[in-house]
Amino acid sequence: QASAWFRDGLNGVFDFGRPLARQTFGFSASGVLIFGIVANLIAGISTILLGRLDDRIGPKRLIIFSLIVLSACGMGVFIGHAGSAMVFWVLGLIMCGFVGPAQSASRSLLTQICPPGYQGEVFGLYATTGKAVSFLAPALFGLFVTVGHAITGGDNNQYRGIMGIVLVLLGGLAATIPDSTAALRGKTHTNKPSATRLTCVVTLYFDDDPVDAEQMGSDSSSSQSGRVCWVKGFGIASIA
């Protein structure tokens, strides 16, 4: 649940960086393209480098630290919106430098608290919950922009939307802090997922009749005999 919150905020950093750069800080089209390339490089490199910090302090602490930095930089973008493009270059790239580590650390944390044998269910739920709340950052970004336009009447209100993304990040941070990794591990190991497993049951039977090679899709014109396995039917078995 906490992961779904802040992961939507992390996605919002990249999704709404372009309109902020273009309309608030006056980036040209080529400037936005260059910024996007540099931002992705920074995100990838920082993910590799901060992976060592993940090993030292643990993924949860890295997530909390990353969310604090991202929230602070987001507020900095809001406060410094009237400044030059350098404000966005500096603060925007710092934010990109902590998006990748936070995303990778969330998966690292999940592997630590996941009960043995339930990796498929847990990671499937992880992906599903992320999609379920993917509307939060866009909705709050649009809400803050709309409210800003209603208050000022001007058109340059895109910078207000960053506070919607910050709000999502702070919500994820607040939901992440309470439980320690050990407590999370204890909860998941004692309360294992109760989802029903679905198993495909296939019924087979064997036929000893000669089979013509051409009927089996072979290019050979000769016939051959063999024991052929046919699918007689299948069903879904529910195993609790």
Least confident of 16-25, 45-54, 126-135, 143-152: 126-135
* Mean pLDDT calculated for residue range 118-141: 82
Burial zone of 200 (CB within 10 Å; 0-12 exposed, 13-18 middle, 19+ buried): exposed
Which backbone phi and psi does 122 adopt, to 5 degrees? -70, -45
First to last CA, the chain: 24
Query: Considering the entire predicted model, what is its pTM?
Result: 0.70
| pLDDT reported for residue 234 | 37
Instruction: Give residue-wise pLDDT tens across range 204-236.
Output: 333 444 444 334 343 433 334 343 333 334 333
Nearest to 123 by CA among 134, 139, 133, 112: 112
Contact 227, 206 (CB under 8 A): yes
Integer Cα distance of 220 and 3 in angstroms: 58
Long-range contacts of 60-64 (CB under 8 A, 24+ apart): 60/105, 60/109, 60/176, 60/180, 60/181, 62/101, 62/102, 62/105, 63/6, 63/102, 63/105, 63/106, 63/109, 63/176, 64/173, 64/176, 64/177
Q: pLDDT confidence of 39, banded at 50, 70, 90?
A: very high
